[in-house]
Amino acid sequence: MNIAQYIDHTLLKPTTTSDEIKKLCDEANQYGFAAVCVPPPFVGEAKKYLSAGNVKVATVIGFPFGYAVTAAKLAEARQAIQDGAQELDMVINLVALRAGNTALLASDIAAIVEAAHQEGRLVKVIFESGILSDAEIIECCRICAEAGADFVKTSTGYAEKGASVAAVQLMRKHLPSSIQIKASGGIRDYAFAKELVEAGANRLGCSASVAIVTGATQNASGGY
């Protein structure tokens, strides 16, 4: 399996530096990752470093807690698009979900999807599946389908539990085939990455991307 083509090479820590972004992009170019996912202030830099290749630039909206008001998320999204982001990973309003306010949850997602699609950008909607019930995940899938999201995504990587095979399988069961799945959070080796793809993930959000690709090479040669 060419695992690199599934990976969004990710660096989202609050102390990120320009040198680290350049290294991230150099690695993405070298290994042929699908995208880099960087903090909003670094979108322009990443775009510059990736200008000669096919690697996409992704950034995050309402990250990592999702409870920013929709107007703030829209401002973030529009700025990211202006800076050159091709994919937006937005966090759902978890406060609205837990309060049972599905109208607010849905309108928040729909607003970002509409703004992004008007500019030809993709949206990945982050659920934080590790802290949700199956019923909440299913409801989020329904809302994302109605909003026309491009992807749903398991996790921010900031909760106590990240991606799981079970969450990916549940999402795949309750989504139309037109919506893809990004698994993220806690993916540190090739074996787990492969499991997630086989469960239905179309993308993988990883910070250990180089180790995962190296593991894939070792696995193919009988290393493990």
Catalytic annotation, pick one of 56, 124, 153, 194: 153
Distance in angstroms (rounded) separating the CA atoms of residues 131 and 69? 21
Tokens of 183: 């698994």
Active-site option among 47, 56, 124, 182: 182
Q: Which of 123, 138, 224 is nearest to 179 (CA)?
A: 123
State the catalytic residue, choosing from 89, 124, 150, 194: 89
| 182 tagged catalytic | yes
Preceding peptide of 64 cis, ω within 30°: yes
Q: Is the four-CA dihedral 6, 167, 198, 200 of positive or negative sign? A: negative
Our answer to whether residue 23 is catalytic in this structure is no
Q: How far apart are CA 8 and CA 33, in angstroms?
A: 6
Q: Is 108 a catalytic residue?
A: no
Say if strands 7-10 and 151-153 run parallel, antiparallel, or are unpaired: unpaired
Q: What is the set of active-site residues?
A: 89, 153, 182
